[in-house]
């Protein structure tokens, strides 16, 4: 434990006066301080103290609700099958009642753009709420640190434990921590893979035990995701946020004077210093220099140094400081959610700005486009491919033949029976291998068809044609245009 952590900042002794307050330079409020060299993953391990409070309650609820949702996601059923399934082998994505095939994947481009724009807009106004309350990295790190606390103990014990020489008890505790981490990592990997292969293949494949029925790729992905989860949440932790995550890097570009940030009230807190309980020595600010805000920080920074790139805005320092303020009888909020305009310029935060209109406009345009695409999705997909090898041939009967392949996909969730017809053109007739084509739900089929032309009635070298595929009941239909080609030299052949 550091010297700072050992001292009691709220002294009850009456024979000692607190030392003279020291003036510190105020950190520039508009500047996000880059990460310090001390945050090197190989040299520095942060053991945060666990704290309770209003923000931590919200945080814990939101984090574990997201985690539970993720874990139950592959087990939700819809119309008798897995509700969310990203089958990359077929490839088909099932999202509740909708089925997305490769030709629909541009729809996901809209989804990603909307998600990114929403994240940018939220960051401009609410800062890094995603990092503190919903990011999977933060959720897993919090959970893994909780396990460490459960087996080894609170912060001080974990710091001491790291420095202890090896013993049977230390090895047993470490083994227990790693075994539980590994179990959670394996469950995470299984959940991910179940969203791709389906729970039926993964768990109910007939083999005993179930994993004996897995293919080579399933094993590779299972081991890979388990390893990545274990490494990220168990060892990389805050270094992932500081050194690797691009969002943490570019957030400084999005922050402005009206962005909500976790801030230390420098004017109120400084000069900081220890004091007798229930007193407020002259010349001192409200910060009793207890270091609790540093001890609870999962990234190991001191928020009193100003806004730093490592700060994931988890608000643990707010809850910790509020608890101290309650103990010393000062008002809460020495560290609080505020904006630079409010804290430094003593003005009201501006919510309405040209920036918000720009975000709303772009976001609205993307949502409209995605909705139109989703609504306009045809339940029957059809394309015509003209046979390129032989555009037109002449049969013994003198008829000119053009061959095509109709690529038909039943995108409904029921079996459909399709028929094919050629929109009438004088001298042209369509022949198909099947009179009716039954297709199961989401089944694709390449149907070869031919169009025959009567040479005495076809004069143009290229005649526009329209082929229609339709269901027997007339509910679904799709038409596509192509051409019927007639090479003049074929006219003179016997």
Binding site for ligand SF4 (CB under 6 A): 262, 264, 269, 272, 287-293, 296-299, 301, 303-304, 311-317, 320-321, 324, 334-335
Residue 156 CB, shortest distance to ligand SF4, in Å, is 16
Task: Give the residues across from 285 on adjacent strands.
Answer: none
- Give yes or no for a contact between 53 and 322, defined as CB atoms under 8 angstroms apart: yes
Residue 301 CB, shortest distance to ligand SF4, in Å, is 5
Residue 167, number of CB atoms within 10 A of its CB: 9
Smaller CB separation from ligand SF4, 178 or 332 = 332
Residue 300 CB, shortest distance to ligand SF4, in Å, is 8
- Give yes or no for a contact between 370 and 111, defined as CB atoms under 8 angstroms apart: yes
Residue 271 CB, shortest distance to ligand SF4, in Å, is 11
Q: Which of 336, 291, 332 is nearest to 315 (CA)?
A: 336
Smaller CB separation from ligand SF4, 184 or 312 = 312
Smaller CB separation from ligand SF4, 329 or 464 = 329
Q: How far apart are CA 479 and CA 470, in angstroms?
A: 9
Smaller CB separation from ligand SF4, 29 or 213 = 29
Smaller CB separation from ligand SF4, 324 or 465 = 324
Residue 339 CB, shortest distance to ligand SF4, in Å, is 15
- Beta-strand ranges (E) seen in 291-443 are 335-338, 380-386, 393-394, 399-410, 416-422, 428-432, 437-439
Residue 134 CB, shortest distance to ligand SF4, in Å, is 14
Residue 348 CB, shortest distance to ligand SF4, in Å, is 23
Q: How far apart are CA 254 and CA 216, in angstroms?
A: 44
Smaller CB separation from ligand SF4, 278 or 398 = 278
Task: Give the residues across from 470 on adjacent strands.
Answer: 419, 477
SS3 content of the chain, % helix, strand, coil (to 5): 45, 20, 35
Phi, psi angles (nearest 5°) of residue 135: -70, 130
How many Å is the Cα radius of gyration of the chain? 33
Read off the tokens for 306. Answer: 């100003």
Smaller CB separation from ligand SF4, 266 or 470 = 266
């Amino acid at each position: 434990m550091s010297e700072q952590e050992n001292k009691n900042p709220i002294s009850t002794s009456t024979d000692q006066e607190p030392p003279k307050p020291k003036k510190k330079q105020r950190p520039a409020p508009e500047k996000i301080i880059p990460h310090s060299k001390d945050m090197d993953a190989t040299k520095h391990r942060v053991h945060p103290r666990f704290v309770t409070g209003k923000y931590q309650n919200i945080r814990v609820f939101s984090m574990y609700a997201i985690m539970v949702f993720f874990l139950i996601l592959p087990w939700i059923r819809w119309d008798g099958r897995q509700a969310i399934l990203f089958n990359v082998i077929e490839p088909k994505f099932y999202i509740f009642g909708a089925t997305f095939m490769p030709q629909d994947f541009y729809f996901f481009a809209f989804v990603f753009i909307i998600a990114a724009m929403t994240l940018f807009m939220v960051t401009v106004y609410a800062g890094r709420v995603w990092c503190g309350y919903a990011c999977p990295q933060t959720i897993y790190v919090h959970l893994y640190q909780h396990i460490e606390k459960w087996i080894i103990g609170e912060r001080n014990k974990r710091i001491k434990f790291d420095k202890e020489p090896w013993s049977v008890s230390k090895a047993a505790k470490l083994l227990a921590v790693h075994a539980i981490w590994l179990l959670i990592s394996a469950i995470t990997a299984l959940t991910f893979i179940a969203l791709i292969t389906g729970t039926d293949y993964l768990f109910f494949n007939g083999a005993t035990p179930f994993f004996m029925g897995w293919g080579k790729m399933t094993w590779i992905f299972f081991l890979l995701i388990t390893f990545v989860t274990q490494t990220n949440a168990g060892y990389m932790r805050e270094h992932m946020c500081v050194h690797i995550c691009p969002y943490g890097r570019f957030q400084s570009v999005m922050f402005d004077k009206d962005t909500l940030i976790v801030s230390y009230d420098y004017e109120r807190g400084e000069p900081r210093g220890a004091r007798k309980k229930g007193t407020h020595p002259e010349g001192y600010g409200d910060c009793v220099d207890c270091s609790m805000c540093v001890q609870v920080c999962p990234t190991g920074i001191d928020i009193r140094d100003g806004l730093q790139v490592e700060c994931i805005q988890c608000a643990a320092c707010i809850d910790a400081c509020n608890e101290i303020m309650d103990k010393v009888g000062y008002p809460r909020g020495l560290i609080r959610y505020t904006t630079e305009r409010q804290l430094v310029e003593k003005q009201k935060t501006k919510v309405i700005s040209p920036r918000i209109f720009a975000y709303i406009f772009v976001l609205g345009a993307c949502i409209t486009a995605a909705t139109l695409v989703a609504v306009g999705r045809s339940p029957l997909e059809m394309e015509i491919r003209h046979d390129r090898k032989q555009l037109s041939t002449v049969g013994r009967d003198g008829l000119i033949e053009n061959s095509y392949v109709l690529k038909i996909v039943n995108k409904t969730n029921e079996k459909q029976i399709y028929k094919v017809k050629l929109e009438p053109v004088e001298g042209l007739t369509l022949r198909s291998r099947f009179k009716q084509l039954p297709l199961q739900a989401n089944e694709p089929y390449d149907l070869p068809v031919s169009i025959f032309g009567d040479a005495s009635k076809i004069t143009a070298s290229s005649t526009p044609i329209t082929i229609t595929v339709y269901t027997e009941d007339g509910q679904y239909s799709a038409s596509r245009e192509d051409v019927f080609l007639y090479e003049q030299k074929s006219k003179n052949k016997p």
